[in-house]
Structure 1
């Protein structure tokens, strides 16, 4: 996730320089084709490019809106996970009856540690990495129980449900608190499922493919039309038009998969570490891990 609300010219150039060169080459080729061959056969009216540009702008806008909806929904899901995580730990620490039979305090702390493991396991699953950091928050037998599971975060939630039932059987929590904690457990599962839905649902590739094709067609057509009126300057104006449309489309593509590891993605590392610090502090654990530092002072992963 970007931390600044503006980009420098150097950053823009680093992102788009390959595209800039390719646009200039295509526009130059279109200018040469029109100058030495096409203008003797046909004259392209300006009304065609005007209508096509309007239609293309709507098409790109639709794509970008859908991409942003995916990104914003992912951000809301993980924001809810942060809030529910703090409430989960607070309820377990504050409202469990430590005088009840059994090791109530030990079970509550184990469930909080396990929840941190759940967040890191979910992060690794969404990013499809082999990060096993979550294993540090699971007991030895628990690690063996979830390791061979097809869905490790869901297997961790199953362990949480078993311990929640154990607290109820030991009468460490009453029926109202049991129902409240179980609702939070259901919320964890819901948010996990919503995240997996976004991660596993591919944005229709036809939208991306045809949008790119239409943009290049529009850039070439504009260059051919302008070449008849302003000559070689049509290459510069063609580049400017192509730059605007292509970069606008690139902005949408960068938001399309919010759980990937890029500057525009949801900062899962930072969010998970924030929750980890908060919960360990509530447990009185020392030392606390350090927050995730921004990459180059520009964005968080």
Structure 2
């Protein structure tokens, strides 16, 4: 995710990091070159490369803008819902640390049970990153995981869900031993249930993309519109046509590319969510709740990007 102050008007035109220009530059350059060729060919032989009425392009451009806006709104809703889910996970993890304080003044075995529960919660956050984002993120989870759970974690097809089941098993054991009351068990089990709800919500976003047919239609229409646009303005704008069509292509291709990034909020592109940083924040919070003092600093953006 891009984290930076709002740039000045002068810097606004020269910022590359965080923009989509690097992804769409080849398409914009192609439209510029195609437009220059169409203008040259129209001036050289209008019979072979005619100029057409620009009116339909204005109508199509308005319609395309509206549909691109709808798609980007849908993609942003996915991005924002994912951010709210991770915000809920941070809250729930802190709530778990507070609720397990009932074990602090108990026997040493029950203090160890609290430490075990919070370490599993830390591992859950890192396991969720690996579950949602491509790449090998198991090391961060295994570093906090109790040794007896490591084999099951590595063998599980859904590591975060496995860790939640183990937390439920530990809570059931504490209830059976009388370390916590039925009311305290219900509260703690409800907290683990909210963590499970976050897992399910993130899986729903990851496994349910925007309908492919809708995306394909907008992709095709945007490309066809930008490729045909020079024919509508070659006569009216002359050699200004390549610059105008390149600007239009930058807008349409840029909105399309930005929608692609927001559609997959758990990816590794600059505008995706910093779920690794959020998992590290959960780890720091819970380690502090356990009384640890040798804590790493909170995640900071590198080159304005927080991952």
TM-score (norm 1): 0.91
Whole-angstrom CA distance in 1 between matches of 2:39 and 2:220: 19
Counterpart in the other structure of 2:78: 70
Whole-angstrom CA distance in 1 between matches of 2:193 and 2:285: 21
Whole-angstrom CA distance in 1 between matches of 2:47 and 2:92: 66
8 Å CA contact 1:293, 1:300 repeated in 2: yes
Whole-angstrom CA distance in 2 between matches of 1:68 and 1:215: 20
Whole-angstrom CA distance in 2 between matches of 1:175 and 1:279: 24
- Gapped regions of structure 2 (runs ≥ 5): none
Correspondent of 1:30 among 19, 38, 47: 38
CA 257–38 in structure 1, closer or farther in 2 if over 3 Å, else same: farther
- Gapped regions of structure 1 (runs ≥ 5): none
SS of residue paired to 1:22:
helix
Whole-angstrom CA distance in 2 between matches of 1:239 and 1:227: 13
Counterpart in the other structure of 1:9: 14
Counterpart in the other structure of 2:127: 121
Deviates more, 1:24-33 or 1:59-68: 24-33
Q: Tell me by how many angstroms 1:148 deviates.
A: 0.7
1:149 matches 2:162: no
8 Å CA contact 1:269, 1:292 repeated in 2: no
CA 260–63 in structure 1, closer or farther in 2 if over 3 Å, else same: same
1:190 matches 2:211: no
- The Cα RMSD (Å) is 2.1
8 Å CA contact 1:67, 1:256 repeated in 2: yes
Q: Tell me by how many angstroms 1:222 deviates.
A: 2.6
Whole-angstrom CA distance in 1 between matches of 2:206 and 2:222: 27
Correspondent of 2:282 among 275, 278, 287: 275
Q: Tell me by how many angstroms 1:37 deviates.
A: 5.0
Whole-angstrom CA distance in 1 between matches of 2:104 and 2:178: 8
Whole-angstrom CA distance in 2 between matches of 1:163 and 1:19: 56
